[in-house]
Every structure is written in C-alpha cells, then in structure tokens.
Amino acid sequence: MFIPIVLTLLALVILVVGLFIFVIVAIGKPPQGRAQEYLERGEISQGRLVACIGDSLTHGNLGDCWVDHLRDEFPQDIFLNEGVNGDVVWQVHERLKTTLKCRPDVAILMIGSNDAMGSFDQSSGERYKKNNKLPEIPTFDAYKKLLPELIDRLSEIPTIVLCTLPPIGEYPDSAINQHIGKFNFFIKKTALEKNISVLDVSDSMWDELSKRTYPLKKNYNPKMTVIAKDIYGAWIKRYIFNKTWDGVAESRGQWLLFDQIHLGERGARVMLNLAKGYISTS
C-alpha cells in the first residue's frame, strides 16, 4: 500500500516539475518574425514593413497574439514582432538599433504596462529592477523622460502610431488602473506634442469590458507569487485541459485578461481591429 502511494506522489511531482519547466521555457521563447531574423534572411519586403514594438502584450506567447493575426490579414506586408516579455521602456531603448536597421515603414509602439506595474509599489519596483537588470526601479517620472526620447529615436520611421495601455485587472476604479490612467494621459499628451497618431487601446478595452456577461471575481494583486500562480495555472488550463484563453478567463470571472494582465482572444481581437483599421488607412 505504501509503495503505490509513494510512486503516485513521485509521478505527480515529476508532472508538476515538468509542467513548470515547460511554462518557463515557453515564456522565454522569442516571438516569430523578429527584426534580427529579418536582417539575417536579407529579405526585401514587397509590401510594407511594420514593426510592432512592445512587451508581452505584443510578444503574444502569454495569450493570443494580435501580431500573428495582422500577418493573416495583410499577407503582402511583413510584420516584425519586437515584443519582449517583461520589458519596460528603458529596455526598448537598449534593443532599438536592430529594429531601426530594418528600415520599417510603420512602427506600432505599445510600451508601459511593466513600467506601470513596476512603479505601482516598492516591492514590484525592486523585483523589476532585479529581474530585468535595470539601472533603477521603474518610475512614472523615468517613463515621462524615456518615452519622448524613444519616439525621437523612432522618428526616422515614416509612420509611427503610439498605443495607450490596456487595463491591469478589470476593475475600472482600482488603484492600479488609476495609476495606469496617468500613463495613458501622458501617452496621449506626448503623441499630440510629437504629432503622431494614437490607438486608444485603453478606451476600446473598457468598451469591450462593458459587454461582460458574468460577474467579476477578483482584482489584480501585485505580489509575484500571485502573478506567477495565475500565469502558470492559465497555461495548464490552456495546454493541458485545452481551454481557450477566453475560456480560462471565464473560469476566473475575467473577460479580457485571463491572468489580470495578458490578452485572451477577445482582448487580442480589440487590438487587432484597432491596428487593422489604422494600417488599412495609413
């Protein structure tokens, strides 16, 4: 009796560890179609070359990838996925040269969600600084300095569109979304000053959230243990139990953000429609 129980527990531990390693490896996997790959192929685009620059919300392996959907919508164009999980605006500065070498025709920039989460409280800031090897903890003041500088560096690209940030969690009056509101106000102000277009992702996401058909269960929690548990659990439901990302979200009372941060199919569709509309008319 004892040996079968031990073997069962051992098998369970191996399964859990294996799933954990799978998630870690998958999260670290770079997106398809990065700028470096484009340069190595020496490819010449017959259509437009569009650089989609940002963090995990652009990278798209934590949830549904709107950049991949754009590729399906505009097969004649090339879309560079320059989203990197966890990046703050400072890190985009550090890796921008490769993107600029590709000489994109259009840049879609959505960056700041990690800056917002990293500046939300002291422990989050210290975690971002350590994990991302940043020179300092993310702050709103640093973002206000670095975002305009980043746009100036992108100015050699003929067309630039700047995106506001999606919600974190789905409570409109939460402390984190009030904090993100400051970032979005600054993003719009900067776009106006730099005379570039804005995709108002934030307003479109909140419009979509107004269509929720079931109760909201919980709010964003900045503790890393909670964030990791939500992400890890979502991956298990998605890839072991074959739920859609929206199905994972619904099981948690969420509508767009299955882990309070990343986009399911509904959220990616909002972003796709905004980007598609802009690209079609630019």
Per residue in 170-213, pLDDT (tens digit) is: 999 999 999 999 999 999 999 999 999 999 999 999 999 999 99
Asked, for residue 159, whether it belongs to a domain, the answer is: yes
Asked, for residue 223, whether it belongs to a domain, the answer is: yes
Instruction: List the domain range (segments joined by +) for residue 197.
Output: 31-281
Asked, for residue 255, whether it belongs to a domain, the answer is: yes
Give the model's confidence band at 120: pLDDT under 50 very low, under 70 low, under 90 confident, else very high: very high
pLDDT of res. 42: 85
Round to whole Å and give the CA distance between 177 and 170. Answer: 8
Amino acid code (one letter) for 60: G
Per residue in 139-158, pLDDT (tens digit) is: 999 999 999 999 999 999 99
Instruction: Please count the structural domains in the chain.
Output: 1
How much of the chain, in percent, has pLDDT values that exceed 70?
90
Round to whole Å and give the CA distance between 111 and 193. Answer: 18
Amino acid code (one letter) for 134: L
Q: What are the CA-CA distances from residue 136 to residues 59, 121, 130, 143 (Å)?
A: 24, 14, 9, 12
Per residue in 223-256, pLDDT (tens digit) is: 999 999 999 999 999 988 999 999 999 999 999 9
In this prediction, residues 21-36 reach a mean pLDDT of: 73
* Strands 78-83 and 197-199, bridge-based pairing: unpaired
Q: Around 81, how many Cα atoms within 13 Å sit in the side-chain half-sphere?
A: 20
Asked, for residue 70, whether it belongs to a domain, the answer is: yes
Asked, for residue 82, whether it belongs to a domain, the answer is: yes
Q: How many helices (H) and strands (E) does the chain have?
A: 14, 5
Residues 51/250, Cβ–Cβ less than 8 Å: no
Residues 113/143, Cβ–Cβ less than 8 Å: no
Round to whole Å and give the CA distance between 122 and 63. Answer: 27
Q: Which of 274, 208, 250, 257 is nearest to 64 (CA)?
A: 257
- DSSP H/E element including 13: helix 2-28
Asked, for residue 3, whether it belongs to a domain, the answer is: no
Q: What's 51's domain CATH number? A: 3.40.50.1110
Asked, for residue 11, whether it belongs to a domain, the answer is: no
Q: Cα 149 to chain center, whole Å? A: 21
Buried residues in 78-98 as b, exposed as e (16+ CB within 10 A): bbbbbbbbbbbbbbbeeebee
Round to whole Å and give the CA distance between 87 and 36. Answer: 17
pLDDT of res. 28: 64
DSSP for 145-172 reads: HHHHHHHHHGGGSSEEEEEPPPPSSS-T
DSSP for 62-127 reads: SS--HHHHHHHH-TTSEEEEEE-TT--HHHHHHTHHHHHHT--SEEEEE--HHHHHHTTSHHHHHH
Q: Which of 19, 56, 9, 11 is nearest to 240 (CA)?
A: 19
Asked, for residue 174, whether it belongs to a domain, the answer is: yes
